[in-house]
Amino acid sequence: MIATPSILTAFEKMKAPERIQWLNQEYGSRLVLSSSFGIQAAVMLDLVSKHAPEIPIVWIDTGYLFPETYQYVEELKQTLHLNLKEYQPLITAARQEAVHGKLWEQGEEGNAQYGLINKVEPMNRALNELNSDVWLSGLRRSQSSTRIQRPYLEQQKKTLKAYPILDWTHAQIQQYFRDNNLPKHPLESKGYQTMGDWHSTNPIAEGESAEDSRHGGNKYECGLHLKSEATDFQI
């Protein structure tokens, strides 16, 4: 499965609901949506629930999420009637820390290993178990400098990744929340503009960008959306 130039051009001209509907018509049961249930995640969840409700939604519970994120998951599950598939790392947070220590405090190598154990491996397992090779994500170009050049469709080894709201601005996201009466993540009102694990995410300080609030400003991507990321990692 390859995103040809003609397919990419057609996809770019569509609106977000049309992109989701087209992907569903073309690929059907091969589709999954991943969601972090972060600050703006409700937009993609709502779009899918309205335009392709049968698509499985993969949520990776790292074991290190904020309590408010777990509460938000439960709220959106009830509000949007999601076809949610929950995945966890193969080893618990307690065991990880006992064996490896706090990987997020161990520099680039430790953070890379953390991402593989807690995010990449569970997502790969989800794709395999759900027999899915087309992966939808709510990633947007305006979220960070690492995403500005992203295409709407890109190949990641055997998986085709699709970003239906890639071109949406922050203002469009906020308008969608208002128009569709979507609940907000509880931590948005406390200064968080992006959301990840509790040890790597901070509220925005004066003069900071969203990128500065993740991993001490050293990186923004968690590992799932790095183009070079391995897709067959084993613990």
Which residues have CB under 8 Å from 94's CB, separation 6+?
none
Contact assessment for residue 169 and residue 176, using Cβ atoms and an 8 Å cutoff? no
Cβ-based burial of 81 (10 A; exposed 0-12, middle 13-18, buried ≥19):
exposed
pTM for this model (two decimals): 0.86
pLDDT in tens, the chain (235 residues): 556 677 778 888 999 999 999 999 999 999 999 999 999 999 999 999 999 999 999 999 999 999 999 999 999 999 999 999 999 999 999 999 999 999 999 999 999 999 999 999 999 999 999 999 999 999 998 776 666 778 899 888 889 999 999 999 999 999 999 999 999 999 999 999 989 999 999 888 766 655 655 655 455 455 565 553 333 322 2
Which residues have CB under 8 Å from 227's CB, separation 6+?
154, 156
Q: Is the dihedral of CA 12, 15, 18, 20 positive or negative?
A: positive
Where in the sequence numbering do the catalytic residues fall? 222
Q: Can you list the alpha helix ranges (DSSP code H) found in the chain?
A: 5-13, 16-27, 41-51, 67-80, 93-100, 107-115, 121-129, 170-179
User: Domains in the chain, start-ordered, CATH in brackets?
Assistant: 5-217 (3.40.50.620)
221 conformational bin, left if phi > 0, alpha if psi -120 to 50, beta if neither: beta
